[in-house]
């Protein structure tokens, strides 16, 4: 019964979208169906489908994680001058080290929580990516490996430091550093990151009082420090119920120190990152471009336009969510600026298409 309902639902939406977008021959020439009876249900159905797909994607990601890990996502932490969720912090740290969100098919947050209490584990994990062959040769690292542990590279730190200093000196002299020197700078940054992880300095989860800086629980003797270290111990031991209870108690103690906007931003981040709206937008755009290469086929063209609309919805949703999370327009760095500019170009292409019904401008926008 449910399967039949879904089939009928998508059939109706498809027909509405096709009748809205597809140019239909008529006796008196070419006629476009653009009345409200067709496009309002079509657009509403497309939006509802996009929302349902988003919820399914996020729910699937969350369900794949353990209950303890899901609970730990909501813990706030101050990192890079902004309060964010512990999950986002872990993803960004892992990406800075390995250029990926995962490590050995494990989520970043799971890796860091499991090894946080044991500095020896952290320095032995192959978290540091070194992909430049010449740099590996100079440092005496294996050419066949791409990831190394802190202990693998600590003995050659002086060589890395000299290369990084050379790059800095060249920049001050308005000269361009060599590629190997730039790679050495990246490596030095990753070594420092692992060093801070091992020491626990980056775990700034305890809010400061009266404008003071947030601090790490490692080395602290106060109640909050002991509670967070106990939470980490529960997680390392696999005690799910204890972790969930500890997280609830922790958030109850810490959230009053946050502003309502910061609490909302943490919740939005935990929705935004599993969803990956820009990845889905790219997939929809690529599919749309391929389908729109066959404008003679009404159904393929209609599918291409529907795919374009789906990609545009994900693209715009991603931008809006980032605006709410950051509390500002998403144009502060190259990544955000590129995403915003491509959305503006796509918006212009969609508006032009809505007015003139020319597919070529839509294909040009999809390529942008």
Residue whose entry in the numeric block shows the structure tokens 């809010």? 207
350: confidence class by pLDDT, cuts 50, 70, 90: confident
* 44, pLDDT greater than 60: no
What does the pLDDT average to over 176-198?
94
The least confident of 111-115, 344-348, 363-367 is: 363-367
The least confident of 119-128, 162-171, 219-228, 355-364 is: 355-364
* 105, pLDDT greater than 80: yes
Whether residue 139 sits in one domain with residue 79: yes
* 154, pLDDT greater than 50: yes
Whether residue 46 sits in one domain with residue 80: no
Distance CA 305, CA 297 (A): 12
* 89, pLDDT greater than 60: yes
Supply the Cα-derived Rg of the chain in whole angstroms: 26
pLDDT for position 31: 39
Distance CA 131, CA 190 (A): 13
Distance CA 293, CA 158 (A): 56
pLDDT tens for 60-75 read: 444 445 899 999 999 9
pLDDT for position 61: 46
Q: What is the mean pLDDT of the chain?
A: 83
pLDDT for position 23: 40
Final residue in a domain of this structure, among 258, 290, 318? 258
Whether residue 146 sits in one domain with residue 225: yes
Whether residue 199 sits in one domain with residue 337: no
Q: Which long-range contacts (CB under 8 A, 24 or more apart) does 43-46 make?
A: 43/309, 45/9, 45/12, 45/13, 45/16, 45/17, 46/13, 46/17, 46/306, 46/309, 46/310, 46/313
What does the pLDDT average to over 106-114?
92
Is 55 among the domain residues? yes
The least confident of 102-111, 218-227, 308-317, 352-361 is: 352-361
Final residue in a domain of this structure, among 258, 282, 304? 258
Whether residue 151 sits in one domain with residue 92: yes
CB 45 within 8 A of CB 16: yes
CA dihedral 39, 44, 45, 46 (to 10 degrees): 90
Whether residue 181 sits in one domain with residue 57: no
pLDDT for position 221: 85
Phi first, then psi: give them for residue 31, nearest 5 degrees.
-130, 140
Q: What percent of the chain has pLDDT over 90?
A: 53
What does the pLDDT average to over 353-366?
82
Burial-class residue 184 by CB neighbours within 10 Å (0-12, 13-18, 19+). buried
Q: What do you get for the CA distance between the two ends of the chain, in Å?
A: 43
Whether residue 234 sits in one domain with residue 186: yes
- State the alpha helices, DSSP H only, in 99-201: 108-115, 119-124, 133-139, 150-153, 157-172, 179-199
Whether residue 213 sits in one domain with residue 336: no
pLDDT tens for 310-348 read: 999 999 999 999 988 888 887 778 888 899 999 999 999
Final residue in a domain of this structure, among 235, 258, 281? 258
Number of domain units in the chain: 2
354: confidence class by pLDDT, cuts 50, 70, 90: confident
Is 187 among the domain residues? yes
Enter the tokens of residue 123: 């320095």
Distance CA 280, CA 289 (A): 14
DSSP bridge partners of 29? 26
Higher pLDDT among residues 297 and 4, named by residue: 297
* 104, pLDDT greater than 80: yes
Domain hosting residue 244, numbered range: 75-258
What is the pTM assigned to this prediction? 0.75
* 20, pLDDT greater than 70: no
Whether residue 194 sits in one domain with residue 146: yes
Is 58 among the domain residues? yes
């Amino acid at each position: 019964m449910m399967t039949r309902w879904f089939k009928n639902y998508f059939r109706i939406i498809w027909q509405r979208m096709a009748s809205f977008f597809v140019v239909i021959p008529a006796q008196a020439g070419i006629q476009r169906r653009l009345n409200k009876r067709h496009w309002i249900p079509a657009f509403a159905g497309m939006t509802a489908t996009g929302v349902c797909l988003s919820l399914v994607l996020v729910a699937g990601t969350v369900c794949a994680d353990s209950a303890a890990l899901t609970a730990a996502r909501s813990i706030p932490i101050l990192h890079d001058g902004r309060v964010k969720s512990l999950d986002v912090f872990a993803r960004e740290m892992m990406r800075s080290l390995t250029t990926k969100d995962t490590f050995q098919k494990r989520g970043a947050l799971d890796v860091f929580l499991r090894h946080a209490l044991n500095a020896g584990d952290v320095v032995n994990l192959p978290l540091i990516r070194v992909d430049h062959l010449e740099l590996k040769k100079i440092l005496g690292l294996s050419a066949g490996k791409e990831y190394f542990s802190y202990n693998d590279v600590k003995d050659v730190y002086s060589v890395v430091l000299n290369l990084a200093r050379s790059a800095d000196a060249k920049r001050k002299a308005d000269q361009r550093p060599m590629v190997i020197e730039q790679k050495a700078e990246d490596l030095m940054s990753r070594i420092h990151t692992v060093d801070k992880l091992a020491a626990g300095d980056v775990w700034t989860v305890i809010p400061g009082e009266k404008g003071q800086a947030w601090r790490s629980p490692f080395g602290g003797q106060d109640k909050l420090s002991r509670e967070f270290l106990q939470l980490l111990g529960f997680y390392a031991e696999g005690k799910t119920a204890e972790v969930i209870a500890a997280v609830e108690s922790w958030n109850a103690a810490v959230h009053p120190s946050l502003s309502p906007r910061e609490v909302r931003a943490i919740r939005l981040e935990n929705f935004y990152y599993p969803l990956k709206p820009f990845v889905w937008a790219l997939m929809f755009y690529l599919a749309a471009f391929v389908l729109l290469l066959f404008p003679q086929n009404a159904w393929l063209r209609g599918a291409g336009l529907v795919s374009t609309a789906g990609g545009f919805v994900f693209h715009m949703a991603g931008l809006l969510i980032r605006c709410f999370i950051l509390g500002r327009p998403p144009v502060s760095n190259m990544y955000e600026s590129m995403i915003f500019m491509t959305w503006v170009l796509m918006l212009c292409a969609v508006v032009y298409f809505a007015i003139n019904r020319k597919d070529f401008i839509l294909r040009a926008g999809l390529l942008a």
